[in-house]
Structure 1
Amino acid sequence: MEKRELEPEGVSEHSLIQRVDVRNTAMILLTSVAVLYFISWAQAVLVPLVGAILISYALDPLVSWLEKFHIPRPLGAALVLTILVITIAGASIPLKRETIAILDKAPWAIEQFQRAEARSTPDEEGVVEKAQDVAKKIEESAEDEEEEADEPDVMRVRVVDRPFNFRKFLMEGSSTILVVVSQVFSALLLVYFMLAAGRLYKRKVVKLSGPSFHRMRKAARIMNEFHGQVRRFLFVMLLGAVFVGFFTWLSFLLLGMEQAVFWGVVAGLASVAPYLGPFLVLVGAGVAAFIQFSSIEMGIVIALVSLVITSIQGNLLLPMLTSRVSSLNEIAIFIGLLFWGWLWGPVGLIIATPMLMIIKTLCDHVTNLRAVGELLGK
């Protein structure tokens, strides 16, 4: 009786619970939208941060190994980063030469292709020539109709295309280049500080997790799982890149493709970005083969070979190895790639799986988030 007197007139207990659930759901949705907007808005800051964390995870074993030889972590971190930068800079020089060599052959290949088309008989007229003839006839008929409909009092306006302004193009692109260079430099500095700090922040997180020993041990276990899963995933990505690079180089070499080493290195690096990287290599290698052989058939063959290699790596090798180093299911990985690719572009495709691993590990250890972890798991 007392319970009924306390309840408002006409309002049942079920309706109150339903109203509270709707309010909580609305708050969760609004918070999620705000978080997504913040992540997209703060991309210039978060991308170098996430990239630096992943790179520091990959390089930390080397710095720890140098520490065993009584080399201080700040000095070891500087040494490892210096070797990494010098290696990348040294490898970029021959790649630049290979790129210039391919571009130098482009005008010659196009000229050869045009000569071959000019030598073809009228019976061998292709689809492009027929489309050009049709377009020319349509333009001629449209011009005849305009001349008939012209009146003396009507002023005809002619649109003149402005020449390409290289200085304007350079000024507009310089801001983007400056942003990219500053982000790379910031990421390298952050990697150095993380490597030099070592386990400082891990100890701070464990200390802040709470005074109880159980909570501190749980926080330490979560951090260890973070590090272990990300390092294993980076190792799997390295194996996949080596697989794609080696077999791309070998296949292109056997097919007589010039600059086979260049395409092997490019294909291996591009395989780190799922879907987008292999697609760009497929198109680029096909165009390069067309330029070299002056044959559309060879361009298609080279593109198909690149597609087969990246398909084996992306659909067989990488899922098999990833399933062993993580507990994520394939649907969650694919949705994560779509989400982070939409949010951060090519960088999002690279960091999507490590982010899902971290989220899955965190959800498995938090009681209220275990349902999310169950959806992400196998």
Structure 2
Amino acid sequence: MIELIKSWYRAKFSDPNSVTLLLMLLALAALLYFFGTFIIPVLVAIVIAYLLDWPVTRLQRVVPSRQMATNLVMLIFVGVMLALMFGIVPVLWAQTSNLVQEAPTMIEEGKYYLLHLPDNYPNLITAEQVQNLVGAVETKLFEFGQQVVSASLTSIKDVVAWLIYLVLVPLLVFFMLKDKSQLTAGLLQLVPKERRLINQVWEEMDHQIMNYIRGKVFEITIVGISSFVAFTVLDLRYAALLGTLVGFSVLIPFIGAAVVTLPVAAVALFQFGLAPEFWTVLAVYGVIQALDGNVLVPLLFSEAVDLNPVYIIVAVLFFGGLWGFWGVFFAIPLASLVKALLNAWSTQHQEYLASEAE
């Protein structure tokens, strides 16, 4: 057993490049674990910088300098963000407020429908089962309401932090884009010279991360707008809010679509009942989800995602549990990183076996 461990250690860590890669991973993990909440603005800025680096690089070909390209792209980006903030956010807030006010009525109608299920289907369900189900749902709703109130009270103190982020993040993005070469050179000076495996992992991940972030933004936009247009044509209430929820649901592969189905179905049921319009809304929503999963995702992420769905779900659950929203957002890139690391160490192991054979 000891010899087996020694052989494994020599195969994986006899090369200084392997030790450098391991130490780098441990340092990054410790940084995120102990100081993750303090560097959130930096992480957000890195995400946005990855998203905007592509247009800056393309625009740099037709303008005199990278700084001018950065200025133009940042002006467009800030303009779009302001337009969204003052144009769409008030609509979403109004629809959310109206939905919250109507939620008790919707819950009561749902409760009434459940309580009458034994009368309509006496062979399938009993009154006792319905009472237990209603009690469990009411308990969960009460707990959820308490969590919402508690979160809203504790989040008041974070308003100042968010205002600071609104200033810091655009500044960080601007300097990351403008001084990309200098920042990259400075980071390379901090990395030891034995960084062959680090370079191998970085080259494999850099392109994937950029494609993933850009593709995810496009997917959110396309799915959200398509859902909003479909719900508006079908005259479904809260079309903007539900379309936004459907758009952001793609952040959580497989799970997000299932969760967002509940509010879409609840609003449609409350508005139309079990009429044909209700089933039409569900059918159209199902078509949107099918097109997203079978057409849009392969088109946008063909180069960024090469993972089994089981690994993706495990990554979402694991990294989401560690880092919340950002863990979910980066679940697929982080899973790809784990895959790249395993590939790097596997390559190192094969090289070791070849050297032993010689």
- TM-score, structure 2 as length reference: 0.64
Which of residues 190, 203, 217 is equivalent to 2:185?
A: 203
Q: Paired residue for 1:56? A: 49
Residues in 2 aligned to 1:290 and 1:99: alpha-carbon distance in whole angstroms: 18
1:370 and 1:340, CA in 2 relative to 1: closer, same or farther beyond 3 A?
Answer: farther
Q: Which structure has the larger Rg? A: 1
1:205 and 1:134, CA in 2 relative to 1: closer, same or farther beyond 3 A?
Answer: closer
Q: Paired residue for 1:154? A: none
Residue 154 of structure 2 corresponds to residue 192 of structure 1 = no
RMSD over aligned CA atoms reads: 5.1
Identity %: 22
Residues 109 and 291, structure 1, Cα contact 8 Å, conserved in 2: yes
Q: Aligned-pair distance for 1:240?
A: 2.7
Residues in 1 aligned to 2:317 and 2:224: alpha-carbon distance in whole angstroms: 25
Q: Paired residue for 1:370? A: 347
Could you list the runs of 5+ residues in structure 1 that have no partner in the other structure? 1-14, 136-165, 374-378
Q: Aligned-pair distance for 1:255?
A: 3.8
Residues 249 and 260, structure 2, Cα contact 8 Å, conserved in 1: yes
Q: How does 1:83-98 map to 2 (within 5 A)?
A: 83-90=79-86, 91-98=88-95
- TM-score, structure 1 as length reference: 0.62
1:43 and 1:296, CA in 2 relative to 1: closer, same or farther beyond 3 A?
Answer: farther
1:65 and 1:245, CA in 2 relative to 1: closer, same or farther beyond 3 A?
Answer: same
Could you list the runs of 5+ residues in structure 2 that have no partner in the other structure? 14-18, 133-144, 351-358
Q: Which amino acid aligns with 1:350?
A: F
Which of residues 294, 297, 300 is equivalent to 1:318?
A: 297
1:169-218 Cα distance to aligned partner (Å, 9 max, x none): 86764434544863654544533332232222223345566779xx79x9
Residues 243 and 268, structure 1, Cα contact 8 Å, conserved in 2: yes
Q: Which amino acid aligns with 2:53?
A: D
Residues 105 and 291, structure 1, Cα contact 8 Å, conserved in 2: no
Residues in 2 aligned to 1:19 and 1:304: alpha-carbon distance in whole angstroms: 56
3-state SS of the aligned residue for 2:252? coil
Residues in 2 aligned to 1:24 and 1:334: alpha-carbon distance in whole angstroms: 33
Instruction: Considering Cα pairs closer than 8 Å and 6+ residues apart, tell me whether 1 or 2 has the greater RCO.
Output: 2
Q: Aligned-pair distance for 1:257?
A: 1.5
Q: Paired residue for 2:78? A: 82
Residues 257 and 289, structure 2, Cα contact 8 Å, conserved in 1: yes
Which of residues 268, 271, 274 is equivalent to 1:289?
A: 268
Q: How does 1:21-60 map to 2 (within 5 A)?
A: 39-45=32-38, 47-60=40-53
Total equivalences in the alignment: 321
